[in-house]
Amino acid sequence: MPRWSLICGVDEAGRGPLAGPVYAAAVILNPRLRIDGVADSKTLAPAERERLALLIRERAHAWAVASATVEEIDRFNILRASLLAMSRAVQALKVVPALALIDGLHCPPLFCRSRAVVGGDAKIPAISAASILAKTERDAEMRRLNERYPGYGLDRHKGYPTAEHLEALQRLGACGIHRRSFAPVRDALAGLVPQGDLPWQDDVS
């Protein structure tokens, strides 16, 4: 593919949750290998997201997924951490894109030209594909983290502030992957402290 046609879509997943890292993906689609059904990940059923994620990895010209840690979220704020994850994803591509189209209002610092596109995950297939990869990778990580931090239901709500999650925060307190810069987590730390011999007791601070 000529370099001028190497346009990557970039999107993140996980800005709203109270726990876990924020993920981002960058995807350069191959125009010769069509992927039907690519859309904003939020509009897709989980099984369809997983199916499309496999096709994107197989057929895209290039793709990469990266993340920013909970510690970086708390240190820099969630917007800056999201942009950091996006920058890492673009840098991890096996080819240098000519242009990066970023979902949202802000562009991360990149070594290529970039443009922010509001609602890009619903308009631009490459951004839609990036949203699918970021979402499926983050969901898989939250399922893994649920094994380390049981009791919060991370495999179900993926760290989002559902009623189940907020109740678990009040009952168990915060664990090592909760974002302490988010108000519900601060409230839990100021209130109920975990009791008993919990496996993540030393992570609470």
Q: Are 10 and 127 in contact, with CB atoms under 8 Å apart?
A: yes
Q: For the chain, give the number of residues.
A: 205
CATH 3.30.413.10 fits 3-146, yes or no: no
According to the model, what pLDDT value does residue 190 have?
84
- The model's confidence at residue 189, banded by pLDDT at 50, 70 and 90, is confident
The yes-or-no verdict on residue 203 having pLDDT over 70 is no
Average pLDDT value for residue range 33-57: 97
pTM score: 0.91
According to the model, what pLDDT value does residue 80 have?
98
Cα separation, 193 vs 205, in Å, equals 10
Burial (Cβ within 10 Å: 0-12, 13-18, ≥19) of residue 55: middle
Instruction: Delimit the domains of the chain by residue range.
Output: 3-146, 149-191
- Here the tokens at position 203 are 């992570």
Q: What is the pLDDT of residues 163-182, one digit of tens each?
A: 999 999 999 999 999 999 99
The chain-wide mean pLDDT, for the chain, equals 92
According to the model, what pLDDT value does residue 199 have?
41
3-state class (DSSP) for residue 8: strand
The yes-or-no verdict on residue 137 having pLDDT over 70 is yes
**Strand order in 99-103's β-sheet?**
62-68, 22-28, 7-13, 99-103, 113-117
